[in-house]
Amino acid sequence: MKAILFIFIGGGLGSVARYVLSKFNFINAIPYGTLIANILGCFLTGLILAYINKNNGFSKELFLLLATGFCGGFTTFSTFAYENQNFLKSGDYSSFILYTALSFILGLLAVTAGLALIKN
């Protein structure tokens, strides 16, 4: 039950942070708020996982709060899929391709950067 509470608190905080960030769409063609949340969440996940691998003193509760809860609530595949569905429905294929490619490539690079930053 304690684990669920940590996930609940972290997830709530992550969801609120994502909502606030999603209000900053710098160019209407691409939902940059969601893109930034997903990339930043990938980077934070990489940092957390690398820190855990490097230091055995990381508590399970802190992992559940930060990685599972906060990062899980902060990043969102469902919003990403919905926004892409809107691009497809409106026939905006260039935004669909650009947003999907940026999300995938930058997300992968962000996790790698987070892992590398702590590893060294």
Q: What pLDDT shows up at residue 28? A: 65
What single-letter DSSP state applies at residue 31?
Answer: -
Q: What pLDDT shows up at residue 120? A: 62
The pLDDT tens digits of the residues spanning 18-52 come to 999 888 766 667 788 888 888 998 999 888 888 88
Buried b (16+ CB within 10 A) or exposed e, 94-106: ebbeebeeebeeb
Average pLDDT over residues 49-78: 85
User: Which percentage of the chain shows pLDDT scores above 90?
Assistant: 47
Domain boundaries, the chain: 2-119
